[in-house]
């Protein structure tokens, strides 16, 4: 019996085989879950190709979190594949390049980062809640926003907002039995990460993390997401679990 036996999990954010979400989907299937992926626009075809590389082919439904109509349509799209959902993974991050310059970015640069990387968590939970009559688990991905990272700039601000949004989701959806937690991962070489101009500055993470850190290995992060999706964190919500080799605890 796998950790996610008989569960259905909606996984956003599979773009490439390096995507954290790809490995969450892979491990979720290995642990017995039925997985449904989301993607949007021109990346739909890419995600469909990735879905064929999973242990079991997963359906892909459309969700652009910048489009409110997509949230309205999401429950019916999911119902084409499953009647209920037990877990949802928010693995979405985006900021325009100009948002990675804190002192020059305009509101037009910052607004999409906040909408897509932070605000989107709430409408995602809201859209899935009716499909979770027995409750369930929402898991998101953050990069520890308790400090200011050089070069992370407005994306760091968006992550701080995302972490606050998670706490408010925990408050709002707890009475419905929906647990809302985040994994604060160390740096992992993905498309989103390498588009951060200062990503190279995270290169010394492994030297300072007590357990070490391999930025080419998304599996530890994905395993922790699967654990949070399982029944083994039944009384945990509004939490941020650090999966960073211990970097956060020792101050780097």
Residues that bind ligand NAD (CB under 6 A): 12-16, 19-21, 40, 43, 63-66, 91-94, 116, 141-143, 185, 187-188, 190-193
Nearer to ligand NAD, 159 or 179 (CB): 159
Nearer to ligand NAD, 180 or 192 (CB): 192
In this structure, the number of other CB atoms found within 10 A of the CB of residue 135 comes to 15
Closest approach of ligand NAD to the CB of residue 4, in Å: 20
Nearer to ligand NAD, 21 or 54 (CB): 21
Identify whether 173 is a catalytic site residue.
Answer: no
Closest approach of ligand NAD to the CB of residue 117, in Å: 6
Identify whether 159 is a catalytic site residue.
Answer: yes
CA–CA distance, 10 with 129 (Å, rounded to integer): 12
- Torsion angles phi and psi, residue 116, rounded to 5: -80, -40
Q: Which of 152, 168, 173, 223 is catalytic?
A: 152
Q: Which of 159, 168, 173, 223 is catalytic?
A: 159
Closest approach of ligand NAD to the CB of residue 176, in Å: 24
Closest approach of ligand NAD to the CB of residue 157, in Å: 13
Catalogue the active-site residues. 152, 159
């Amino acid at each position: 019996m796998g950790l996610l036996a008989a569960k259905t999990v909606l996984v956003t954010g599979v773009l490439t085989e390096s995507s954290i979400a790809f490995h969450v989907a892979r491990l979720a299937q290995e642990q017995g879950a039925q997985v449904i992926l989301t993607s949007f626009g021109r990346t739909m075809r890419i995600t469909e190709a990735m879905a064929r590389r999973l242990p079991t082919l997963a359906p892909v439904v459309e969700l652009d979190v910048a489009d409110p109509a997509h949230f309205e349509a999401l429950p019916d799209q999911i119902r084409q594949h499953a009647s209920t959902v037990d877990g949802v993974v928010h693995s979405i991050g985006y900021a325009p390049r100009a948002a990675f310059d804190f002192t020059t970015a305009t509101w037009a640069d910052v607004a999409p980062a906040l909408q897509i990387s932070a605000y989107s968590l709430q409408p995602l939970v809201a859209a899935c809640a009716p499909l979770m009559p027995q409750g369930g688990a929402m898991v998101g991905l953050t990069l520890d926003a308790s400090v200011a990272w050089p070069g992370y700039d407005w994306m760091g601000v968006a992550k701080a907002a995302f972490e606050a949004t998670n706490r408010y989701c925990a408050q709002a959806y707890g009475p419905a039995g929906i647990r809302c937690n985040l994994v604060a991962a160390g740096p992992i070489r993905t498309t989103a990460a390498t588009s951060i101009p200062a990503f190279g500055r995270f290169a010394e993470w492994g030297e300072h993390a007590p357990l070490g850190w391999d930025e080419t290995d998304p599996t530890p992060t994905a395993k922790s997401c699967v654990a949070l999706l399982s029944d083994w964190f039944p009384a945990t919500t509004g939490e941020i679990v650090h999966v960073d080799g211990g970097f956060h605890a020792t101050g780097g």
